[in-house]
Amino acid sequence: MKLENMMMMGGWFVNNVDKSTNIHLSKSCMPHLRANSTLTFINQWQSVKKLGATVVLVGDAYDKAQAYAKKRAIEEGRTFIPPFDHLDVIMGQGTVGMEVMRQMKGPLKAIFVPVGCGGLIAGIAAYVKRVAPEVKIIVVEPSDANAMALSLHHGQRVILDKVGSFADGVAVKEVGEETFRLCKELVDGVVLVKP
């Protein structure tokens, strides 16, 4: 297991991508806005706010926060930086797979990855399958926020009517386009967890 909360920026990996972006934006003195769902833990959005971001809490799942951020970006002439569904972001998240492979002392059979929008697992899978195609990549999702599991089962992205709030980082109604394309090709299985 790789504990991402041991990284310099604290928090878990996906949050670190956002924090890293906010650190760089704050150092450049560029005004920036971050939209989070109302389910986001207070310490996550407050730490980003301390870095100078304007934080807006919108909706009960990531999808509504993303739609709001995209709308504000268009209205205000800002650049929307996607937190997961962009090849550069996915490649960056793939470094977790690289670290896992480098730190292994013996054979590795599988990597289990928590999934929300799919960026982390798409990155890990893309790297690991290139260097060790025999390693199984397994989706882990809450049973009440299983957008990736259902999308893989149906062979196309599905939109959930609602998502549970057990784990805010994976509470999404729809996985990303690019992340789904990669996961459809590279993921080997799914484990659903009951909250």
Predicted pLDDT at 21: 54
In a domain, 81, yes or no: no
Q: How many domains does the chain have?
A: 2
Predicted pLDDT at 172: 82
167 with 111, same domain?
yes
- φ, ψ for residue 139 (rounded to 5)? -70, 135
In a domain, 160, yes or no: yes
Predicted pLDDT at 11: 35
189 with 144, same domain?
yes
> Could you say which residues of the chain have pLDDT below 70?
1-43, 45, 166-169
In a domain, 13, yes or no: yes
What residues does 57 pair with on adjacent strands?
A: 36
Predicted pLDDT at 156: 97
Predicted pLDDT at 32: 58
Predicted pLDDT at 76: 85
93-134, pLDDT tens digit by residue? 999 999 999 998 889 999 999 998 899 999 999 999 999 999
Q: Which pTM was predicted? A: 0.75
In a domain, 94, yes or no: yes
Residue 164 CA to its chain's centroid (Å): 17
Q: CATH number for the domain including 152? A: 3.40.50.1100
97 with 44, same domain?
no
122 with 141, same domain?
yes
Predicted pLDDT at 164: 82
Predicted pLDDT at 7: 41
Q: Where are the alpha helices (DSSP H) in the chain?
A: 13-27, 42-50, 62-76, 87-103, 119-131, 147-154, 177-186
Predicted pLDDT at 59: 76
Predicted pLDDT at 36: 64
Domain residues for the domain of 12 are 4-76
